[in-house]
Structure 1
Amino acid sequence: MLLTKLLGNGPNEVGTSRVEIFAHVAHNRMNQIPQNRQTNFGSLQEALRLNVFFDGKEEFGYDTQFLAAKYQKLTGVAGGGVRTFSATGFHTTELEITDVIGYYRLNELNNDLGSDDFGEISLVRGVGAFQDFRRNFLDAYIGNVKYEELIGFNRFDLTWGVQLQGENIYDRYKEWERIDSAGYSLPNTGSTIDSVIDGRLFSTPADGLELYTHVAATQTLLNTRAKSWINAKGSIPLDKGIWHYNIGARMQWAQLSNEVRISPRARFNFIPDGGLLAAYRWTFAAGLYDQYPFYREMRLKDGTLNTDVKSQQALHLIVRQDKDFELWNRPFVWTLETYYKGLQRVNLFDVENVRIRYQGNNDGLARVFGIDSRINGEFVKGTDSWFTFSLFRAQERSTTSLVQGWHARPTDTRFNFAVYFQDYLPNDPTTRLSLTLMLGGGFPFGPDGTGNEIAQPEDRFFRSPPYRRADIGFIKVLGGKWTDRFDEIWISAEIFNLLQARNTVSYLWVKDISAAGQYAVPNYMTNRLLNLKVHVDF
C-alpha cells in the first residue's frame, strides 16, 4: 500500500514537499507431507533403486511487516536540489517445524540385458531409516533512518547522504537427525568384546545412542550499522560524442566487526554523436565493494555465532556494448557484456538439501568471470521478446586447506541460455501468449560436510545434469465499463515445466556400511505446476 501527499503549489516548484507512506504485510504458511518415492540411479554396471516410505509432515511459516515513510522537499539550492528524509521499519518471523521419519530400502537391479527380469530387483543391499526433527524460530527487527540531499550544479549533480541502522535478532535453533543405515546407527560407536565361548565372540554395544547431527542453541544478536556516501553524476560533451560519468564512494561501519570500509566506484558511458558508430553505446565500470555479514553468515553449523566475521571485499570490472538496430522495421537492441569479479576474505558456503550453510569465517578467495549476450526487441509488433546467453566461471579456494588450487563454487553452472517470446491473437491483442525456454549447466556438488564442518571446495568433484525447462502462459487483459475505475486488470494462467523435465535440485546421500561407501540419490523439482494470477492496477 502506497500513500502520497503533495504539499505546495506545484510538483516542480521550489519549496514543494512530498510525503509518502508505504506499508506491506505478508503472511505465508506452507504445510508439506512427504510422499513415498522410488528413485533409480547409478550406472549400467551398478544399477540401484532407492525406495523411501515417509511418515510425518513439515510446516514452514514466514511473516513480514514493513513500514516506510519519506519526506522530500525541493530546495532549489545552487540551481536545483532535493532533500529527503526517510525512516523504515522491518519485522520478520520464520518458523520451521519438522517431524519426518523415513524408512528406505536400497536395492540392486538386474542389469543383464538378456534376462527376462532386466530392471527388476535382484538383491536387497540394505534397509535403513532416518528421522528429522526441527523446531527453529527466528524473530528479527530492523530499523533505519536516512538523510539524503541532491544538489544540482551547472555541469553535474552531487548527491550525499548518511544512514543509521539497528538490528535486533532472536534465534532459537534446535534440530537433530538420526540415521540407521543398513542396520547400523550412524555414527557407529562400535562395541566391546566381552568373551569368547566355543570360538564365538560375544560383545556389548557401546552405551547410548549418538545422533548423526544435533544442534540446540539460542542466540540474541544486537548490531548497529552506519553508512555514508557521496556521488557525482554529469556529462562531458565532445566533438564525436558525449561522456556520461557517475563517480562516488561509500563508507560503512558495523559495530560487531568494528571495521570501517571505504569503497570507491566509477561508471562511464560513451554515446557517439552521429556517423558510423551512432547506433553503439559503450559502458566501462569499476569499483570496490564490501559486503558486511548478516546474521546467517555469522551462524555456524553447530548454532554458535562468530561475530568476528569481517566484510567480504570484491573488485568489479565491467565492459559493456549496446547496439541499436532494426529488423522488419521494428527496434531491437543487442547487448554484450564482459565482467570480472575478484573476491577476498570470502565466507565460504555450501548447499545441503537447498539450505545454505556458511563456514562462518573469512578464509576463502573467489573469482567470477564471464560474458553475457542479450537480444531483445519486437519480434512480434507491440510485444517485447528476448534471447540471452551467458558463459561464466565461478571459482573459489580455501586459504587454510591443504588442497590448493581453484575449485568450483556451488553457483558454478558454467552456462545459461533462455528465450522469452510473446505473441497475441491477430484480431484481439488483449489475449496474449508467452513461451519461455531455459537451459543451464549442472551445479557442482559433493558429499555433505561431517560434524559441524561444511563441505570444502575440493570436495565438489561431481556435477548434476543440465537444467532444462519450458513454460507457457496465457494472459487476458480485461476491459469494459466496470474496469474504468482501474488502470489495468488482467488474469493469467501459466504452466511451469510444461514438458515435465526432471531437474535435480539436490542430492540425498545414502550411506551403506556394508559397501563402505555412500550414494548420491537425486532429489527432483516439481514436474509440472499450474499458476493462476489476477493482477489489478489502480
Structure 2
Amino acid sequence: MKKLLFLFLFFPTFLVAQKTTIVKGTVKNNLKQPIDKVSITYGNTGTETDENGNYSIRIPVNTEVTLVFSHISYRTLSEKITVNNRNGIRFSPILTLKTEELKEIVIKDNKKEAQGITKIDINKVKNVVGPNAGVENILMTLPGVNNNNELSTQYNVRGGNFDENLVYVNGIEVYRPFLIRSGQQEGLSFINTNMIQNINFSAGGFQARYGDKLSSVLDITYKKPTETATTIDASFLGGSATFEGQFLNKKLSTITGVRYRDNSLFVNSQQIEVNFRPKFTDVQTHLSYEFSEKFGLNFLGNFSLNNYNYKPLSRRTRFGTVANPLELIVFYNGQEQDNYLTLFGAFSADYKINENFTITTIASRYNTQEEEYFDIAAQYNLGEVDANIGSENFGEVQFSQGIGSQLNHARNDLDALITNFQVRGSINKDQKQWTFGAKYQKEDIRDRIREWEVIDSLGFSIRPPHHAGNNQPYEPFEGEIVPFQNIRKDNEVSINRVSGFVQFDERTFWNDHEIFYNIGVRAHHWSVTGNGIASKNQTIISPRAQFAIKPNWDKDMLFRISGGLYAQPPSYRELRDFNGNINVDVKAQQSIHLVTGMDYSYDMWERPFKLTVEAYYKDLNDVNAYTVDNVRIRYRADNAATAYAYGVDIRLNGEFVPGSESWVSLGYLKTEENINNQGFIARPTDQRIKFGILFQDYVPNLPNLKAYLNLVYNSGLPGGSPAYADVYQFQQRLRDYRRADLGISYVFTDANKRYQTGWLSNFKELTAGLELFNMFDIQNAITNTWVRDVYSKTQFGIPNFMTGRVLNFKIGMKL
C-alpha cells in the first residue's frame, strides 16, 4: 500500500523530469554588458533575467519552442529552439537598442532626396580618418568630388575648380584667403566639426535660393546647445577645445571652439627637406539669444591666424622611365614668411511673424590681411641615372643634362574687406512654400604685388619666354638682362553687388504618387571699379527648377530631374590676369546644367541600403580659363573660352557591417575647353575616374574597438604647364592618385556605455586611437616643377610628390 502511495505521489514529477529540460544563459547588449529585467517567454511560461543578465527556463524535450526575449529599451528577439536530450543547453543572445532603429527612421528625408541634396551624418564626419579630418575630408569620398592634395581642404566638383563652390554656415556665405598657393599653407578649414548640427551637400543642379556659383553647395548649420559640455580633442597634429552650454533660463545658448594645428608631421614626410613648423590657430563662436518664441538674435564670429615660416634645404626627386631614369637634385637658400589673418563676424535676427511666415535679416563682415614674403635661391642639377644593373655606378647620376639656378622674390600684400546685408523670408502653408531674399554686398580689395623670378642655366640668364631675338646658348645675347618674370602692380578694386531670388516649393500627389517640385529665379547686378577705371553695369538672370516623383510602388524608389541657367559673376581673383592686371569688364561665366537622378532604397541581408545614381551635363560659355598650381588658381581674365562637362556618379551606402554605415562611390567625368577657337583640350580639373570607399567595422567580440578605412583612387589630372607657356603644348597627365587611410579607435565610454562609479564616470565620452595615413606609402603628385634643359630647350616636368606614410595618435573626450 505504501509503495502504491509513493508511486502515486511522485510519478507526475518523474514524467515531467523525463519530458523537459533547461535552457539557460546570459542576455547582453552590443557592448557585451548584461541586461537585467529581460522577459523570456514561450506560450504561458516565462521568466526574466537577474541583475547579471542570467536566466533559466524549462522547456519540453523534442519539441520546437519559440523563446521571446523582450525589454522596453531593446528590440524584441524571437528564437526557435529544439532540445533533443535532458542535459540542457546554453543560449546567450545579444539584444540591440531600439534607439539604433529610430536613427534609421530619422535619416529618411524624401524632401532632401528630391532636391538632390546629400545629408551627411555628423558622426561620420567625426570618425572618418584623413589628413584634414572634417567635413571636406568626407566630401572626398563622395562621387563627383575630387582632390589630389591631402594638405588642402579645397575640392573640385564635377569639373569645377575651388572657386566655384558655395559654402554656407547658418545661411551666411564664408570665404577663404586669396593669396594661398599651396595646401600646406592652408591650415584649418573654416568649419569647426565639433560645432556642427546639420550638413547638406549638393553637387549640382541646386535651387535658386542658393547663391551664384557654378559647381556645388555645402550648407552647414551650427547647433544650439541643449546641455553643458566641454569637448577636447588632441593628437600629434594639434588639438581643439569646444565649450557649449545654456544660460539665463535657457534663453542664451553658446558654443565656442578653439583649434590649433601643426602640419610638421606631414611636411617632414615630403621629398623636400625643410626646417619649419607651419602653425594655424582658429577661434570661433556662435551665440543665440531667444527674446521670445517669435524673436531671436544670433552671432557668428571667427578669428583665424596662419603663420607659415618655410626654409627649404634640399630636394632629391627621381622620375622618368625604367629605361631612362632621371634625377633632380636641388639645394636651397633663403626662406618664405607668410601670414594670413582673417576676421569674420555676422549678426542675424529671426522674426516669426506667425506660424507660417518667418523673416531673417543678416549683416556680416569679412576681413583678410595677407602677407606673402619670400626670397628663395635654388641651385639644381638634372642628371641621367645609370640604369645598367651590371654597372659599378648603378643608380648614380652619370651625366648632367641641365645645371642652373633660379631666384624667386616676392613682397605681396593684400587687404580685402567684404561687407553684406541681406534679408530672407519664407511663407509655409500646407505643403507649399514661398522663399525669397535680397542681398547687398560691397567688396574693397587693396593688392600690392612685387614678384620677380630670375633663371640662370649654365651661366646664361634666361630671358622672358616671349622676349625677341633670344637664341641662347647658340648665339650670345647682348641686350639688357631682365628677369624671366617680373610683376609690379598696385591694385585697388571696389565691387558692388545686388542680388535676389524668389522660389516656390510644393509637395503634392498625382494619383497615389508623391510629387516634389520647385521653381525659382535669381538675379545678380554688379559693377566694378579697378584702379580708377569703372566697368559697365552687368546683370544676369538665373532661372532654375527641380522635379521629383516617388512612385507608389512596392520598391522604394525616387526619380528626379533638375537644371537651369547658372552664372558666376567674377570675384577679384577672376578679374586679375597672369600679370596682375585688372580687367574690370570680365563677364560672368555661365553654364546650363541638366541633372537626372534616381534613389533606390532596399533591404539586403536584412539591413538597409540605398543606391544613388546621377547623370549630368554642363554647357559653359564666357569661360574664364585658368591654370592650377597646387591650390593657386591663375585666371586669363578674358572670357575667351567655351567648355563642357558631363559624367555619371554612383553611390551605394548601407550597413555592410550590422550597425555601421559604409559606402562605395564611383564617378566618371569628362570636361574640356576651347580657348580662342584653338580646339578642345582637357581642363585642369579633367579627372576621368573617381573611386572611393568609406568602410566602418568593429570587432564582434570587442565592439568598442572600431576601425575606419578610407580608400580613394583618382585617375591622373593634366600636369599643367610652365609659366606663360602655351597650354596646348603641355597636355600630359600626372600619375593616378591612390591613397588609403586607416583609423583604429577604442571607445571607453559614450552615450551607450556610461559609468556611474570610477574614473570613467567623469566622462560623457572618451575615445583613443591610432591613424595611419597613406598606409601603403604611395607617392602621389599634385603638380610639376618645370626645369629647363639649355641644350635642347626642353622643359622637364618633375612631379611634386605629396605626403608619405604617417602615423598619428589621437584622443577625444567630452566632459
> Shared fold by TM > 0.5?
yes
Alignment of 1:30-41 (within 5 A): 30-41=308-319
Counterpart in the other structure of 1:231: 503
Matched, 1:357 2:634: yes
Structure 2 distance, partners of 1:487, 1:4, is: 24
Counterpart in the other structure of 1:168: 444
Distance 1:154 1:395, change over 3 A: same
Distance 1:488 1:283, change over 3 A: farther
Contact 1:313 1:345 in 2 (8 A): yes
Counterpart in the other structure of 2:551: 272
What is the SS of the residue equivalent to 1:296? helix
* Counterpart residue type for residue 383 of structure 1: S
Q: How far is 1:355 from its partner? A: 2.4
Distance 1:70 1:354, change over 3 A: closer
Matched, 1:248 2:526: no
* Counterpart residue type for residue 165 of structure 1: Q
Matched, 1:444 2:722: no
What is the SS of the residue equivalent to 1:297? helix
Q: How far is 1:417 from its partner? A: 0.4
Once the two structures are superposed, residues 19-76 of structure 1 have per-residue CA deviations (whole angstroms, 9 ceiling, x without a partner) of 1111111112122222412222223454322111112222232222111111111112
Structure 2 distance, partners of 1:324, 1:168, is: 49
Counterpart in the other structure of 1:133: 409
What is the SS of the residue equivalent to 2:410? strand
Counterpart in the other structure of 2:625: 348
* Counterpart residue type for residue 229 of structure 1: F
Q: How far is 1:486 from its partner? A: 8.2
Q: Which runs of 5+ in 2 are unaligned?
A: 1-284, 529-534, 750-754
Structure 2 distance, partners of 1:488, 1:218, is: 53
Matched, 1:471 2:749: no
User: Which structure has greater strand proportion?
Assistant: 1
Matched, 1:142 2:412: no
Of 788, 803, 806 in structure 2, the residue corresponding to residue 526 of structure 1 is: 803
Alignment of 1:95-494 (within 5 A): 95-187=371-463, 206=478, 208-256=480-528, 258-273=537-552, 275-276=553-554, 278-352=555-629, 354-398=631-675, 400-401=676-677, 403-404=678-679, 406-426=680-700, 429-450=703-724, 455-456=726-727, 458-477=728-747, 479=749, 490=767, 493-494=770-771
Once the two structures are superposed, residues 80-102 of structure 1 have per-residue CA deviations (whole angstroms, 9 ceiling, x without a partner) of 11111111111112222222111
Distance 1:204 1:157, change over 3 A: closer
* Counterpart residue type for residue 433 of structure 1: A
What is the SS of the residue equivalent to 2:660? coil
Counterpart in the other structure of 2:225: none
Distance 1:437 1:496, change over 3 A: same
Q: How far is 1:126 from its partner? A: 3.3
Q: How far is 1:445 from its partner? A: 2.6
Contact 2:628 2:720 in 1 (8 A): no
Higher relative contact order (CA 8 A, sep 6+): 2
Once the two structures are superposed, residues 271-321 of structure 1 have per-residue CA deviations (whole angstroms, 9 ceiling, x without a partner) of 122x34x31111110111110111111111111111110100111100111
Structure 2 distance, partners of 1:370, 1:27, is: 39
Q: How far is 1:493 from its partner? A: 4.1
What is the SS of the residue equivalent to 1:362? coil
Q: How far is 1:240 from its partner? A: 3.4
Distance 1:270 1:422, change over 3 A: same
What is the SS of the residue equivalent to 2:657? coil
Bigger Rg, structure 1 or 2: 2
Contact 1:350 1:455 in 2 (8 A): no
- The alignment's TM-score, normalised by the length of structure 1, stands at 0.89
What is the SS of the residue equivalent to 1:161? strand
What is the SS of the residue equivalent to 2:574? helix
Contact 2:699 2:705 in 1 (8 A): yes
* Counterpart residue type for residue 136 of structure 1: N
Structure 1 distance, partners of 2:524, 2:723, is: 34
Once the two structures are superposed, residues 170-189 of structure 1 have per-residue CA deviations (whole angstroms, 9 ceiling, x without a partner) of 11111111111233211188
Q: How far is 1:155 from its partner? A: 4.7
Contact 2:364 2:419 in 1 (8 A): yes
Structure 2 distance, partners of 1:498, 1:21, is: 42
Aligned residues: 511
Q: How far is 1:488 from its partner? A: 5.3
Contact 1:166 1:225 in 2 (8 A): yes
Distance 1:493 1:332, change over 3 A: same
Structure 2 distance, partners of 1:382, 1:219, is: 56
* Counterpart residue type for residue 7 of structure 1: F
Q: How far is 1:248 from its partner? A: 0.5
Distance 1:532 1:344, change over 3 A: farther
* Counterpart residue type for residue 4 of structure 1: S
Contact 1:269 1:284 in 2 (8 A): yes
* Counterpart residue type for residue 381 of structure 2: R
Structure 1 distance, partners of 2:429, 2:548, is: 20
Contact 2:629 2:720 in 1 (8 A): no
Q: How far is 1:517 from its partner? A: 1.6
User: Mean Cα displacement is larger for which, 135-144 or 29-38?
Assistant: 29-38
* Counterpart residue type for residue 240 of structure 1: D
User: Which structure has greater helix proportion?
Assistant: 2
Counterpart in the other structure of 1:4: 288
Once the two structures are superposed, residues 349-381 of structure 1 have per-residue CA deviations (whole angstroms, 9 ceiling, x without a partner) of 012354211101111111110000001112222
Distance 1:115 1:486, change over 3 A: closer
Note the aligned Cα RMSD (angstroms).
2.5
Q: How far is 1:109 from its partner? A: 2.3
